Amino acid sequence: MTARANVVPLRSRAHMETPQPPVNGASDNEMTPAQYLGGLVKRIAETRDRNAFRELYTSHAPKIKAYAIKQGMIEFADELVQEVMINIWRRAGQFDPSKANASTWIFAIARNARIDFLRKRGRMSAEVQVETDYLWDLPGGDEPVEEHNRNKAADAVRDSLSILPTEQRDVIAKVYLEDKSHQRVADELDLPLGTVKSRVRLALQKLNAVLQEDLI
Amino acid sequence: MIRHHPSQELLLEYAAGTLSSGMALCVNMHLKYCPHCAEIVDRMTHVGGMLMEELEPVEVAPDSFDALMQRIDEEDMLAAEVKNTKGLDRARELLSNWIPGGWNVVSWKPQWFKIYEFLLATSEDGRERLSLQRINAGGVAPVHSHYGREVTVVLEGGFSDEQGVYQAGDFIIKDQQHKHRPRAHENEDCICLALLEAPVRLTGPVGQWIERLRNFFSPQMYNQTSRDSA
Ligand SMILES: [Zn+2]
């Protein structure tokens, strides 16, 4: 497997990938993709709406499967997709759109399902007997942030991510999507560890302006 | 006022879900006290969400949705809500998975004068150790450095050493270069969550003598060079 083959294919505008909502402009009476996705989760929670769930499944199961494969869980990818979807169905009532963005929430559920899967199979040696969801909280536990502010932060994060140079974006994507420590990313890209660390650092510095903006 | 935070890299690895369970617990414990880092982690998690949205979709089997619904119909249940409380309460609640009665009622094991430990978990190879540590008011730990990393999250009270003063919520990482001698504040006991990635190395005169005995009794455990932190 070459390093190149592992590079995550990234599209320039993430939010166009979510289910096909009205339009993308997000003027006052139009929904953003995140709001649309959040609406699906809400319908699942409130009325156990299977059509909404099917729609969410159709749009997101293939992404979760892609995530599982990136993580090197090729033979368990379908299993992981099912786990994540079951968790979405069961936890839908805990999702609060005023506290978290729906695709962030789905990512966190997928992340936790992946960790859970690895922990149960003992791939991580130093195991403590405690639920994964206690170690990695799902987003949205804290006080509600005004939705407007949350959306603003979300937009800012997305914009700054989209202007990262490719090389920095690739290392960040590897850290997020491929369960890679900095060392393993270095091995795969055939780069010195220091280079990987400095790319991560540079990417973080650029994201930081956004990550730290208006913080408490 | 929390002054010592995990590095950005560590927060990133937490959000991405690539830390060990023990390290994740330490980071999450800090997040219970630190709204600043919690907000950063939220935003970093958001980056993960966006990266996942951008992945090239991989087709799932056409009948997989029906199979899923069948499974859901057979075993449908709602997930237990993981409650979210704040600060000290949240910290206590997180630990209640190991110690239901809280840290006030655990049976502390004496380690040194005024120093106690309560072991929460060790890794199978015994080289990673997750524990609660208590230094009673005014107590001083022996000078030591580490073979690997030592992560400390102050839960209650505070302590100081050659490098600084630490309060509840502070997140501190020490490694081989740091020789230190923690000292609890004078007026209250200090309770910390500690993750030790390899055994502590005692460096004072008495410590060195103990160290030699340790080597004598269990050379395989204490002679190894520290694991790379990566
Ligand atoms: Zn912090």
Could you please state the CATH topology (level 3) that the domain comprising B109-222 is classified under. Answer: Jelly Rolls (2.60.120)
pLDDT in tens, B97-149: 778 777 877 889 988 888 899 988 877 666 678 889 999 999 988 776 666 78
CA separation, residue A159 to residues A164, B47, B51 (Å): 9, 11, 12
- The answer, for B36 touching chain A at a CB cutoff of 8 Å, is yes
CA of B172 to the centre of ligand 1 (A): 11
pLDDT in tens, A2-37: 333 333 333 333 333 444 444 444 445 677 788 899
Pairwise CB contact (< 8 Å): B55 & A66: yes
Mean per-residue pLDDT, B54-81: 85
pLDDT value of position A42: 94
Q: How big is the A-B interface in CB pairs under 8 Å?
A: 226
pLDDT of A117 > 90? The answer is: no
User: pTM, whole model, 2 decimals?
Assistant: 0.78
More reliable by pLDDT, B83 or A171: A171
CA separation, residue B12 to residues A171, B38, B45, B61 (Å): 12, 12, 8, 33
Q: Which of A150-159, B15-24, B58-67 has the highest average model confidence (pLDDT)?
A: B58-67
pLDDT value of position B224: 37
Predicted ipTM of the assembly: 0.79
Q: Which residues make beta-bridge pairs with B122? A: B129
Question: In angstroms, rounded to a whole number, what is the distance separating the alpha carbons of residues B193 and B206?
Answer: 26
- The answer, for A149 touching chain B at a CB cutoff of 8 Å, is no
More reliable by pLDDT, A82 or B175: A82
On average, the pLDDT of chain B sits at 79
pLDDT confidence of A133, banded at 50, 70, 90? Answer: confident
Q: Of chain A residues 47-66, which have a CB less than 8 A from chain B?
A: 50, 54, 57-58, 61-66
- The answer, for A171 touching chain B at a CB cutoff of 8 Å, is no
Can you list the domains of chain A with their CATH numbers?
A: 15-141 (1.10.1740.10), 145-216 (1.10.10.10)
B18 interaction partners in chain A (CB closer than 8 Å): 175, 179-181
pLDDT value of position A68: 92
CA of B28 to the centre of ligand 1 (A): 10
C-alpha R_g of chain B:
21
More reliable by pLDDT, A151 or B42: B42
Question: In angstroms, rounded to a whole number, what is the distance separating the alpha carbons of residues B227 and B230?
Answer: 9
Q: Do residues A153 and A101 make contact, with C-beta atoms less than 8 angstroms apart?
A: no
pLDDT value of position A216: 44
List, in sequence order, every beta strand (DSSP E) within chain B.
109-112, 115-122, 129-135, 144-146, 150-156, 159-161, 164-166, 171-174, 183-184, 190-196, 200-202
pLDDT in tens, B160-211: 988 899 999 999 998 777 777 889 998 999 999 999 876 655 555 555 555 5
Beta-carbon count within 10 A of A12 CB: 7
State how far residue A104 is from chain B, nearest Cα, in angstroms: 4
A152 interaction partners in chain B (CB closer than 8 Å): none
Q: Out of A63, A207, A208, whose CB is closest to B53?
A: A63
Environment class of B59 (CB within 10 Å of its CB; exposed 0-12, middle 13-18, buried 19+): exposed
Q: Out of A65, A176, A201, whose CB is closest to B48?
A: A176
pLDDT value of position B160: 93
Q: Of chain B residues 83-122, which have a CB less than 8 A from chain A?
A: 84, 94, 97-98, 120-122
